[in-house]
Amino acid sequence: MTYLKKALAAAAVTLAVSFPAHAETTLNVHYPMPGFFKDVMDTISKKFMEENPDIKITFANPSATYEEGIQTIMRQAGTAEMPDVTFIGLNRLRMVNERDIPVDLGPFMAKDGNMAEQGFSDNILKLAQVQGKQVGLAFATSNPIMYYNADLVRKVGGNPDQPPKTWDEVIALSSKIKALGDGNEGIDFRWQGDDWMFSALLFGAGGKMLNDDETSVAFNGPEGVKAFELVDRMVKEGGLPVFTKQAGEQAFVAGKVGFAFQTTGALRNTIKNVGDKFDLRTGHIPLIDPVNGKLPTGGNAAVMLTRDAEKQDAAWKFIKFAAGPFGASVVVPGTGYVPNNELAAKSPDYLGDFYKENPLFRAGLEQMPLMQPWYAFPGSNGVKVTQTIVENLSRVVEQSAEPKEALDDAAAEVEGLLPRS
């Protein structure tokens, strides 16, 4: 009898060790741009797992850019390598949806209740919708802003407390900074990588990428001509060098560039890298057309990929947490992106006092009323379309083609990449 009791006790211990008190669901999560998001993702996932001990978050190797990220997901779709959750550039949601890769979040939202009460307004939800389908939840959203070196502006007689409001004013100051010599450059405009900064100029002139029924290119109209001609002026008059993205960033934070134009999402890294080397300021990016001009919404959305029902419930929890008030309160100060959750933006528990204490972050926030969706080209050639625009814009920066010639070439090439009806 004693032996039996001991055996049963041993068996009980074995069972207790073999089976945890709760089942654990593991989610494999992929994200792009670790330079911006690694610390943010680590913080969000740690807090999430503390509040949801039955869900474990693991990370796939991050992609260096949004473009690399979407190509990775397209390759992995339907395979065992595909992650359960990914973060996709807003302009590529249409592409993955046309391949039926994402899981529609609509049923999860309907089951969950009133999303507006959780800080997800209709405008915020629309950022990650494709033809009415909720493909994801906007996680990090941005707009392009002006970064400037107040010390260099002062040195050429400008007033850094009244930053330039027009492109003419920017170019005039940039020209003077370039004339200082000693390795100083007037301007860095982040044209490389994708079509986002081109769309900032195009939308800022009141233009659009395609016509209303998306059958033909529209970016080669008068607005597109103004955009390409402005880049040409940046080179010829403002001292825009043929920088790589990395070289441009390094030159600016070293104090050798007067004005830099890129995403507000780079703000935290820029502040850290500038340190006390010079007086860093931020301002609104000028619009070619101040009346009709708009700005593209950059950033990404959290997207569910897993078709496993148990994992889907866990994935929805993580997506809503990451895009919710806590996630936004980590993303904004950790990067510079603008808040995409209204509870986070208004509540003193999250970001209510942040902008009062951190004035460099205000430019992106103040431009939010100008934001419109980052245009997503139809069909499967979206990445090629983007590359075509960038390659032809580079011809203007390198001064190997006139603006109208490069723009017309880009339009002709893109026309051939659009889907045939």
pLDDT tens column, 72-129? 999 999 899 999 999 999 999 999 999 999 999 999 999 998 899 999 988 889 989 9
**Alpha carbon distance 42, 61 (integer Å):** 13
* Residue 413 and residue 391 in contact, taking contact as beta carbons nearer than 8 Å: no
Calpha distance 201→286 (Å, rounded): 9
Share of the chain above pLDDT 70, in %: 94
E strand or H helix that includes residue 28: strand 25-30
Average pLDDT over residues 390-397: 96
Q: DSSP assignment, residue 370?
A: G
pLDDT at 386 > cutoff 80:
yes
The pLDDT of residue 49 is above 60 = yes
What would the pLDDT profile of 329-377 be if each residue is shown by its tens digit? 999 999 999 998 888 988 888 998 899 899 999 999 999 989 988 999 9
Contacts of 294 (CB under 8 A, 6+ apart): 203, 204, 206, 370, 371, 372
Q: Nearest to residue 379, comparing CAs of 327, 415, 328? A: 415
Split at pLDDT 50, 70, 90, the class of 191 is very high
The DSSP secondary structure of 93-151, one letter per residue, reads HHHHHHTT-SPP-HHHHHHH--SGGGT--HHHHHTTEETTEE--EEEEEE-EEEEEEHH
pLDDT tier for residue 421 given thresholds of 50, 70 and 90: low
Share of the chain above pLDDT 90, in %: 81
Cβ of 159: how many Cβ atoms within 10 Å?
10
Instruction: Encode pLDDT of 58-69 as tens digits.
Output: 999 999 999 899
SS3 at position 341: coil
Q: What is the mean pLDDT of residues 376-388?
A: 91
pTM, entire model: 0.85
Report the pLDDT value the prediction gives residue 373, as an integer from 0 to 100: 87
**Span between the terminal Cα atoms of the chain, in Å:** 82
pLDDT, average across residues 184-202: 94
Mean of pLDDT values over 229-244 = 94
Residue 72 pLDDT: 94
Instruction: Quote the pLDDT of residue 23.
Output: 58
* Counts of helices then strands in the chain (DSSP H, E): 19, 12
Give the pLDDT confidence of 275-323 residue by residue, as tens digits.
999 999 999 999 999 999 999 999 999 999 999 998 999 999 999 999 9
182 — pLDDT class (breaks 50, 70, 90) = very high
**Side-chain half-sphere CA neighbours of 346 within 13 A:** 7
